[in-house]
Structure 1
Amino acid sequence: MKKIILLSILCLGIGSAFAQETYNSSGKAGKARYKENAEQKGFDPHRLIFGGGLGLGFGTYTNIYVAPSVGYRLTDNFAAGISLGYNYLNIKDYYTSYNANTGAQKSMNLSQSIYSASIWTRYTIIENILLQAELEMNNVGDYQTSGSKFDKDGWAIPDVHRVTIPSLLLGGGYRQPLGNGSYLFMMAMYDVLQNISSNTRDFQGQKVSLSPYAGGIFLRVGFAIGI
């Protein structure tokens, strides 16, 4: 399953967009719009944060990743929100299958859909430098303990069942203002829960993680537009 998460590094992750600041003509952050009405109390629609993105990767790893998000700026530097994600993953020649009728062997692709929902918080420590924590629940296919079944031609294929596992992504990054409330961003995240016992399986003599982010740093690169 470790092979699965390597593709996550290639894809354009979306991360939640935090695009409610305005930018002047020099591209530097200006005063947030909601501060123009400092006496307003309660819910302020100017503090809402909308985002979304599309990640694509093709080749040995084929990946299509979509994750819209919405949040709210609680202070000038602190925001929180939720995100939903869908990730279609296909890895060429992931495992070796055998034919129950002929005894032949061949390499087979692994493909699955991963669904996720998360709660995130983000803090701007200095201009355009960000810290983020995101608790995410991932619904993935468990290939390590499911056994096998046979297709109509007699080839052994995994008899997959789905499990839901948690990820806690911690990290930070940088945003580059483009003007008019839009910017590019890059973040590096690490799943600190990837090796807990409920997230791991024994497979072919080694312990592997079912986390979509297992094995290293996960990079998110994207684009956001404010309103």
Structure 2
Amino acid sequence: MAKKLTLLALICVLFASSSFAQENYGNVLGNDRPAWMDKVYVGGGLGGFGISSDRVWLNLSGQVGYRITPKWNTGVGLTYQYFKWKEPINQSFNDYGLSFYTQYIIYQPFFAMAQYEILFLDNFDGRDTYNTFLLGGGISQPMGNKGFINLYALYNVLYSDGGDNGRYDSPWVIGMNFGIGF
């Protein structure tokens, strides 16, 4: 039951994460800001939150990325997750992680994506480290001049059937994120 609720929390995280992106590729403002700053984007937000009679969970995330070209971007993300089981164990867990990702637009609106993730998860005996390597793709839809929405499906190639996969109950990660430029 705990794994199912954890999976539900992770799905909420993936569907609710948000980011903010910078879409300009030159120094269009005419100020002294370096042109490379127009390719940097930051983001994050409340990735998931839930309360039930026996559980509480919260996910906060952030990311910093760089648009190498108009079709190719890469970046780093940070994640913090809090889980508390009230009954029957009255135990809380503080999980955190770091991810590195890259996306390439193959043909608008389709993109390919790779992400390496290191998760440090609390358990009853201490802390465990989990590595995931996600490959897949998705669809990116621009929204106005500086906004976008991404839908994606990624496969964890390090997933082991019957093995300990941390908070993941499936090798598939399906998600959505959106952003608004500065």
Fold equivalence (TM over 0.5): yes
CA contact (8 A) 1:191 1:213 kept: no
Match of 2:142 among 168, 174, 177: 177
For residues 171 and 25 of structure 2, the distance between their equivalents in structure 1, rounded to whole angstroms, comes to 38
Matched, 1:130 2:111: yes
For the residue of structure 2 that corresponds to 1:108, the secondary structure is coil
1:123 and 1:132 in contact (8 A); partners too = yes
Aligned partners of 1:13 and 1:65 also within 8 Å: no
**Aligned mate of 2:101, from 106, 120, 143:** 120
Q: Which runs of 5+ in 1 are unaligned?
A: 22-31, 37-41, 94-106, 143-158, 197-206
C-alpha contact (below 8 Å) 1:135/1:168 kept by paired residues: yes
Is contact 1:194-1:211 (8 Å) kept? Answer: no
Q: How many percent identity over aligned positions? A: 30
Q: Tell me which amino acid in the other structure corresponds to 1:65.
A: N
User: Comparing both chains, which one has the higher relative contact order based on Cα–Cα distances under 8 Å and sequence gaps of 6 or more?
Assistant: 1
Structure 1 pair 175–89 and aligned structure 2 pair: CA distance change class (3 A) = farther
1:226 aligns with 2:181: yes
Which one of 60, 64, 68 corresponds to residue 58 of structure 2? 64
Question: How has the CA–CA distance of structure 1 residues 68 and 49 changed in structure 2, closer, same or farther, with 3 Å as cutoff?
Answer: same
Which structure has the bigger radius of gyration?
A: 1
Give the match for residue 139 of structure 1: 120
Deviations 1:112-170 (A, max 9, x none): 2210001111111121322211111100124xxxxxxxxxxxxxxxx421021211122
- Letter in structure 2 aligned against 1:33: Y
- RMSD of Structure 2 on Structure 1 (CA): 2.9
Aligned mates of 2:57, 2:111 — CA distance in 1 = 27
- Distance across 2 between alignment mates of 1:46 and 1:164: 35
Sort the Cα spacing of 1:222 and 1:113 in 2 relative to 1 into closer, same or farther, 3 A. Answer: same
Determine the structure 2 residue equivalent to 1:165. Answer: 130
Relative to structure 2, which stretch is displaced further, 57-66 or 177-186? 57-66
State the Cα distance separating 1:208 from its structure 2 match. 4.3
Normalising by structure 2, we get a TM-score of 0.77
Contact kept, 8 Å, 2:20 with 2:179, in 1: the verdict is: yes
Question: Structure 2 unaligned runs (5+)?
Answer: 29-33
The yes-or-no answer on 1:190 pairing with 2:155 is yes
SS in 2 for 1:218: strand
Cα–Cα, structure 1 residues 215 and 109, in superposed 2: closer, same or farther, change >3 Å? farther
